[in-house]
Structure 1
Amino acid sequence: MTSHTPLNILFIMSDQHNARALGCYGNGEVQTPHLDRLASEGVRFGQAFCQTGQCSPSRYSILTGRFSRTHGLYANGNHENPDVPTVVETFKAAGYATATIGKHHLSMDRIPDRHGFDTVIDERDFSSFIQAESAPVYHRDGHWLPDFIHPGRSRVGRSHAGNAHHPSGYFAAETIAFLRRNRDKPFCVWCSFPDPHTPIAPSEPWASMYEPDKLTLAPNVDYAFDYETPGLKQTQSKSGQFNEAYHRACLAYYYGSVSQIDYNIGLILDQLDRLGLSEKTLVVYTSDHGEMMGEHGAWTKGFLGYDATLRVPLIVRLPDAFPAGVEREELVCLIDLAPTLLETAGLVGPSGQQGTSLAPLLTGRTEPWRDVIFSEIGEPRHHVTLTARSQSRKYVRFDRLTDGQVQTKYEQFFNLHLDPWEMRNEIENPLYGREIAALRQKLADWEAITPAAPLPTQ
């Protein structure tokens, strides 16, 4: 964009969206026409990964362009370091109207400038709205699966709240209102849907959109599970007591939640069109992390390194600047988004960002690119699961604090070309000895050069 035509930013994010639960990612059962349209008008990244599979740390990684070990927000419930600059602060300083609408999952009240967001509309506002409307509480009032089905110890079923009184509908409406108010000025708005994260509670008609018996479960929903994997049994346990029928029922509601989000994204995109803003608005859709979605017999997420929770959808659209209907298969990271937004908008961001701008890939250029991505969940020097993943191989290391020292408790290695569902741990297979050693070394090199912030005291 030229200096005379400031670029708007519409960053749409969901929570816990498995990349396989999208039509444009090859799923012929889930209905996502509006996100499919966005992909047909923009660039879809098939190999995008979060840098940590947990809500707050991942969101802060997106905002700062840094790994969680560097920005220091290691876990949900801790507070972020206000001295780490965010991409939104740069847009605010450049005169943009800024807003976070939805689930930001950060400590806005403890940060003097709220990370650069002028407008903050979140779950507290939604709760006040529901109370004022005397409307059904979406996660309380509904028809639910039995109590022993509790992904993340939460309910699954049909909410009695209509779309207008559901978080997806409410935050979409607030985003549309923000766009209308700021149509004549540059804006940077984060629209963050709390769903399809648990509780999985779509409204009608989406709650009844899918017939469980007609849905296809992942091949690894039931097999000889590797219970030596630290955290796998615990993740299954907090999911509930599933059989095939309940996996299908849960999947039907999960797909319903995804389709409800898609409907509301459609309303937002339609509003952009009506306001004449689509041509000068960079639209991003992604998720903070994935969802087990029945894979390995589990739902939600855990301290694991499976693609189900590390791989995320990523779609980017900017008419005329980026080609339409392009699919890129390079390994990209959520920390790449901050430098991408800044470069595309012609702004210079803060130093210390660890991601790489996706601009070359978005504009169709062929350039040398990374061959490995890194992701971690937990606190380094204490309790952490680390992943090094190439296009076709994955190495996972489980470090745990034992007797005052961090020790590697378990390792995994997957040939993703032959075993895309990660069902065969080849760590002891001598045929892969050199490849395992190579990824071990790449992970060790990354640890050595990636600064680690102090561990939290709370």
Structure 2
Amino acid sequence: MKDSPNILVIAIDSLRADHLGCYGYQRPTSPAMDGLARQGARAQQFVCAGLPTHPSFTTLYTGQHPITHGIVAHGPRNVLGRDAPSLPQILMDEGYTTCALDNLATGRIWFRRGFEFYIDPSMRHTVYIDVACEELNARAIPWLKSHGDERFFMMVHYWDPHWPFKPPERYQHLFYDGNPTDPDNHSLDAWWKHPLGAVARDTWMRTRDGLITDAAYISALYDREIRHVDDGVGELLAALDDCGLAENTLVLLFGDHGESLVEHGIFFDHHGLYETTLRVPFMARWPNRIPAGSTLSPMMQHHDVAPTLLEAVGALVPPEMDGRSVLPLLTGQARDGGRKQAISCECTWQAKWSLRTDEHKLILARAPDLYGNPERELYDLKADPDEHRNLVTEAGGLAAELEAALEGWIAERLAAQGRADDPLRAHGTSLNLA
């Protein structure tokens, strides 16, 4: 253990991969994160297993898929079993000083499990998602300075790109030069007709000049928030270097889930199992262990993080974890080892499963879609990466094959736990407009 690295995990809420420069985005939203990717490894296909935030973070900490740990949605009916593995607890037992800069434990106590220090700056806010990266760093950086002589595991959860997008004034000149309240712009008309849009229209979708009408302006606000949190990431990484800790710290950065801006008729939120919400950035830096500038193509998911970190520190991976270590991929010791398929679910606003391969994705609904999207969807991710053309009828044989594989996987996983009911059907959506 004496040679094991410090660990800094940076999780950024609602961060989709394709809005970062290192993933090909043209706007300069992410210079610090781009720099981190150049200094280490970047995964091309890191796929969220369960959205939104509670399922994703529970997957991260337990190393288990949502079908195993059972947290498939937000809502009061969710309770994590006491016997579920806990990455922070294992690291604490291995001698690490564990610290979280986060606020999820205010709603679900299991997010506090295993953390010796739990720092929640959002207690000063009426709305917990309003906490900004500056407030987190104001607590994280002094903690690093005072605990840098200890072997530590630090988790920092930034919320800035989460709606409602409210970047600080100093970013207001970026990425947009139009008129956000132009009465002749009708790009949001479809949103106003949706029940969720009607709520947004009377709350955060306004400026001092009136109702926002331009969808491009909201997308620019999202990009400004990415640039905002990127500056926070840069400040935190600079502090790590200033403390002389960078050389012996394994840094992981990823999104918990992505964000739909207008795609598939889903405006400014994280619903739907499309690439906009499932494909998130993942990058890792560990000087002298992870080759700089490497790009990894195999699929990975959030439940692979805990086994990866445990292998990195030489700890045993509990057999109850579903994930698999991708450390050999990160260090260049293996070229393969990723997932042949990535299975994801959501059950907050809508109940859906998806099965994703390198080439295709099947989406299967368990209940009517809040946005009116089809019950079954099939996309060719190579030919149609934006998922515009549903092939479920045209390629019916492939759709049936993938659906059988998905249903078989669900049944197998449930049988292994002595359960029969699909958790999406058993739980039901936790948010609705009824």
TM norm structure 2: 0.83
1:170 equivalent in structure 2:
135
CA gap 1:419/1:106 in 2 versus in 1, 3 angstroms: farther
From 353, 374, 389, the counterpart of 2:343: 374
From 422, 437, 443, the counterpart of 2:400: 437
State the one-letter code of the partner of 2:336: E
CA distance in 1, matches of 2:364, 2:171: 39
**Residue 188 (1) aligns with residue 153 (2):** yes
Structure 2 unaligned runs (5+)?
180-185, 369-373
Q: Secondary structure at the match of 1:343?
A: helix
1:236/1:298 contact within 8 Å kept: no
Q: Secondary structure at the match of 1:20?
A: helix
Higher alpha-carbon deviation: 239-248 or 61-70: 239-248
Q: Per-residue displacement from partner, 1:178-200 (whole Å, max 9, x unpaired)?
A: 11111000101110011210121
2:101 equivalent in structure 1:
101
State the one-letter code of the partner of 1:118: E
Q: CA RMSD of the aligned region, Å?
A: 3.3
Q: Secondary structure at the match of 1:205?
A: helix
2:83 equivalent in structure 1:
83
CA gap 1:264/1:295 in 2 versus in 1, 3 angstroms: same
TM-aligned CA deviation for residue 244 of structure 1: 10
From 21, 35, 38, the counterpart of 1:37: 35
From 280, 289, 294, the counterpart of 2:257: 289
CA distance in 2, matches of 1:72, 1:107: 17
CA gap 1:207/1:345 in 2 versus in 1, 3 angstroms: farther
State the one-letter code of the partner of 1:80: V
1:201 equivalent in structure 2:
166
1:15/1:287 contact within 8 Å kept: yes
State the one-letter code of the partner of 1:73: I
CA distance in 1, matches of 2:129, 2:306: 33
Q: Secondary structure at the match of 1:195?
A: coil
1:212/1:252 contact within 8 Å kept: no
1:120 equivalent in structure 2:
118
CA distance in 2, matches of 1:69, 1:390: 19
CA distance in 2, matches of 1:428, 1:236: 31
1:18 equivalent in structure 2:
16
Q: Per-residue displacement from partner, 1:397-447 (whole Å, max 9, x unpaired)?
A: 00139xxxxxxx810011122211111111111xx2332222112212210
1:398 equivalent in structure 2:
365
State the one-letter code of the partner of 1:370: R
1:49/1:312 contact within 8 Å kept: yes
CA gap 1:47/1:348 in 2 versus in 1, 3 angstroms: same
**Residue 356 (1) aligns with residue 321 (2):** no
1:325 equivalent in structure 2:
293
1:291/1:301 contact within 8 Å kept: yes
TM norm structure 1: 0.79
Q: Secondary structure at the match of 1:178?
A: helix
CA gap 1:238/1:292 in 2 versus in 1, 3 angstroms: farther
Q: Per-residue displacement from partner, 1:147-186 (whole Å, max 9, x unpaired)?
A: xxxxxxxxxxxxxxxxxxx621010221111111110001
Q: Per-residue displacement from partner, 1:235-286 (whole Å, max 9, x unpaired)?
A: 6666658999621111111111111100011111011111111111110111
TM-aligned CA deviation for residue 318 of structure 1: 0.5
**Residue 424 (1) aligns with residue 389 (2):** yes
2:56 equivalent in structure 1:
58
State the one-letter code of the partner of 2:345: E
1:307 equivalent in structure 2:
275
CA distance in 1, matches of 2:238, 2:164: 28
Percent identity over paired residues: 28
CA gap 1:80/1:282 in 2 versus in 1, 3 angstroms: farther
Higher alpha-carbon deviation: 75-84 or 265-274: 75-84
**Residue 269 (1) aligns with residue 237 (2):** yes
1:49/1:310 contact within 8 Å kept: yes
1:247 equivalent in structure 2:
215
CA gap 1:425/1:189 in 2 versus in 1, 3 angstroms: same
Structure 1 unaligned runs (5+)?
131-136, 140-165, 215-220, 226-231, 402-408
Q: Secondary structure at the match of 2:18?
A: coil
**Residue 258 (1) aligns with residue 226 (2):** yes
TM-aligned CA deviation for residue 391 of structure 1: 1.3
CA distance in 1, matches of 2:222, 2:167: 8
Q: Per-residue displacement from partner, 1:208-243 (whole Å, max 9, x unpaired)?
A: 3222559xxxxxx989x9xxxxxx966666665899
From 320, 340, 351, the counterpart of 1:384: 351
